[in-house]
Amino acid sequence: MLSMDRHQDLIRILDSADGFLSGEEIGGVLSLSRMSISNMVRDLQKDGYYIEKRSGVGYRLFRELSFTKEMVEKEFEDIVPVYFFQTLEGSSNNYAKKLLSEGTESPFVVVTRSQSGGKGRLGRSFSSPEGGVYFSLVLPGRMLFESADHITTSSSLATAKALEELTGIESRIKWVNDIYIGGKKAVGILSEGIVDLELGGLSSAVIGVGINLNTPLEAFPEELRVKATSYYLEGGKRYPYVEVLSRVVKGIIGIQNRSYLDEYRGRCFIIGKDVRILSYGKDLGSARCIAVDDDAHLVVILPSGEIKHLSSGEVTLKL
């Protein structure tokens, strides 16, 4: 049985190296066999350390591409308390709601490197393999500047902006909150409000964000490969998980009023486009998108000339 101290020693050795170190060199320092080093590297990789193994050369740790509990906890020390999982059985939004129901004080964030039951909007599932960043940020009522509609749209703007700034890849929004690169979806957002009947408003909101960051194509289920993408697939390189996570969370917390709407509109690529309107799976016909109003509702014009303001709770769109 290998001790955690030994793993920490191995991390320190890899951290202090300039390039690759062979299993033999590391084994010499730790008085362990090459096989033990190889097993320890595998353990660390499972914990989110990005260690490249080059056969005949050795190992190299890339800190900025690692996604570990320690790194996330440190990064979030001054932001919000964090609950971190390598893999979550179920959905981070459900886990966050469970914590709330047990009396956990918000704000807090649940972060996972993968989840087995990722939830999407309208009862769909959300594929959540390793390579992505999945989190549920729980904000109390006092930190919510507006209605549920604004929480959803402002979160998607903050997410798209942070991702574009960090990756340089144009990230546009399909109302209400999907983020697209080119014609493919790269981020999904599911926000759920916890209603306080006495207050007559939201006591808190769970903002669930799933980012296909470094996801390789083969990690997506086959049927998604034509319509989903990741920043890695578009940019041809990997991006730093923890920095992305922290910038997106800070961005969401930072939006405090409706002034975000103009930027949101600028990124919303369906304005001027024809869509089909679906309500709970039922096709309500086609319409042309003409604007996003001050309530973050989508304004469409129907073939009859009638103008409608659609709220995200009511409809979804098909391009």
Instruction: Bin 61: left if φ > 0, else alpha if -120 < ψ < 50, else beta.
Output: beta
* Closer by beta carbon to ligand BTN, 66 or else 316: 316
**Binding-residue total with ligand BTN (CB under 6 A):** 20
* Closer by beta carbon to ligand BTN, 61 or else 138: 138
Q: How many angstroms separate the CA atoms of 291 and 139, rounded?
A: 29
Minimum CB separation of residue 182 from ligand BTN in Å reads 17
* Closer by beta carbon to ligand BTN, 144 or else 209: 209
- Round to the nearest angstrom and report the end-to-end CA distance of the chain: 55
* Closer by beta carbon to ligand BTN, 27 or else 107: 107
Q: How many angstroms separate the CA atoms of 131 and 297, rounded?
A: 33
Angle at 265 between CA 314 and CA 247, to 5 degrees: 95
* Closer by beta carbon to ligand BTN, 42 or else 250: 250
Q: How many angstroms separate the CA atoms of 182 and 228, rounded?
A: 10
Question: Taking CB under 6 A as the rule, which mask of x and - marks residues 120-159 in contact with ligand BTN?
Answer: xx--x-x-x-----xxx-----------------------
* Closer by beta carbon to ligand BTN, 185 or else 276: 185
Q: Any contact of residue 312 with ligand BTN (CB under 6 A)?
A: no
- The correct pick among 66, 68, 93, 159 for binding ligand BTN (CB under 6 A) is 93
Stretch that binds ligand BTN, among 118-126, 145-153, 242-250, 303-311 (CB under 6 A): 118-126
The C-alpha torsion from 149 through 150 and 156 to 157, rounded to 10°, is 150
Residue burial 52-86, b: 16+ Cβ < 10 Å; e: rest: eeeeeebbbbeeebbbbbebbeeebeeebebbbbe
- The correct pick among 11, 66, 108, 119 for binding ligand BTN (CB under 6 A) is 119
The helix/strand/coil state of 85 is: strand
- The correct pick among 92, 167, 171, 204 for binding ligand BTN (CB under 6 A) is 92
* Closer by beta carbon to ligand BTN, 91 or else 167: 91
Minimum CB separation of residue 302 from ligand BTN in Å reads 25
Minimum CB separation of residue 112 from ligand BTN in Å reads 8
Residues 159 to 218 in contact with ligand BTN, rule: CB under 6 A: 178, 188-190, 208-210
Alpha-carbon Rg for the chain in angstroms: 22
308 close to 298: Cβ distance less than 8 angstroms: no
* Closer by beta carbon to ligand BTN, 186 or else 255: 186
Minimum CB separation of residue 241 from ligand BTN in Å reads 14
Q: Could you give phi then psi for residue 302, rounded to 5 degrees? A: -85, 160
296 close to 150: Cβ distance less than 8 angstroms: yes
315 close to 278: Cβ distance less than 8 angstroms: yes
Residue with nearest beta carbon to ligand BTN: 188
Instruction: Bin 133: left if φ > 0, else alpha if -120 < ψ < 50, else beta.
Output: beta
**Residues contributing to the site for ligand BTN (CB under 6 A):** 91-93, 118-121, 124, 126, 128, 134-136, 178, 188-190, 208-210
